[in-house]
Structures are given as structure tokens and as C-alpha cells.
Structure 1
């Protein structure tokens, strides 16, 4: 994976936006207009929105990866099916919900859970 020094854009995107038919063509247009390489872009899938079209989203994520984009999951621990998302999307980056950070230094349960799972 690239280091964050090589990433030029982090874009937070809702699943409903990603499954829209114009999303992939729009991403290709952005590449051309901004002159940015997909491998320098991290698309953060916002986990706070329900993913009603989960399997369609899987297809889009697979296409984006083939195009070279990096995938991040945002707000893990806040939305629905986050463990399923981690398994199915195999993100390059996992951003945890603020719940996990609150009192992390004193919570043995949180540290043990995060160490075991991430």
C-alpha cells in the first residue's frame, strides 16, 4: 500500500453515491480533469449509511480497485454490517468510529478488541 505521503486525495463517499450509475464515469472524468492517478486517491466508504444494495456496492468496489483506487472504510463500529464490510471489501485503510478512541488508554476491553481484530 502507498504511504499517505503519496496519496493526494481522500474522498468520503456514501454507498448510495457509489452505486449510482454515473459514479464510475464521473470518477474517470475527475481523473482526466484533475490529472490525478487513481492509485493516489483513497475512497472512504462512509459506514454511517445503510448499504441497502450491498452486493451492487461490492461490484463497484471491485471495479474501483481494478482501476487503481484505494479503499477505506470510515466510521467502523458505528453503522450496520461493519465486520461484513471489512471481510468483503478488504479495505486498504480502516477508520474507527470515535467510540473506540474515547478512553482507549484506560479501557482494557477496547484495546484487547482492537488488537485482536485490527
Structure 2
């Protein structure tokens, strides 16, 4: 990328970085570490026209959540302002946007794709 003078890097983390829980503090720390890495790389590689950003999904409608959180009502969307779980396509759209020239002045940022849920 540096040799070409162009590049786009998009990391994925999770909103758990901002709303850590006592049982999963190690996960929150790792997710926030991704954000710190992205910010550092964004600063380091900006002169080479390499943009580095992060997409942070909220609750996404996947079968994984059912397996990881048994007994929880994963369909409860009462705390999500848009009133629904996210879809994989919502995340893909954010990643695709960050890879385009439409956001040519965005680097070192995190886009929260979480239906308006705010943890901070």
C-alpha cells in the first residue's frame, strides 16, 4: 500500500468496547485495543494516502448470538432506537463506504452501526 501511495484498512470491533461488563472485561479491553491500533495506524500511514478506520457493530441478527447468549431474549429490541436488530448488510455497507473515495477525508474514526444505541 505504501509503495502504491493508496490504501484502505477497515477494522471491525464491537460496541462491547464501550459498554464492558464485569464478566467480559478482557473482551472489552481487546475490542478497544483495535480502536487504538487503528488510530495509531491512521496517523502513521496518512502521509501515504492510506486511510484506517473502524466499524463497530451493535447487536446483529445472527445465529451466533443465540449460541453465545443462551436464555437471553435476543429478539428484544426495546433498547435500540431504530427498533430492530442490525443485519449483516448494514455492516457491509459501512465497510464498503469506508473503502470508497466518498469518504476521502475520514481516517482514524469509528463508525458505530448500532441502530442509535449509545453506550457513552
TM-score in same-fold range (> 0.5) = no
Please, what TM-score do these two structures have when normalized by structure 1? 0.30
Comparing both structures, which one devotes a greater share of its residues to helix?
1
Which structure's relative contact order is higher, taking Cα pairs within 8 Å and 6+ residues apart?
A: 2
Please, what TM-score do these two structures have when normalized by structure 2? 0.30
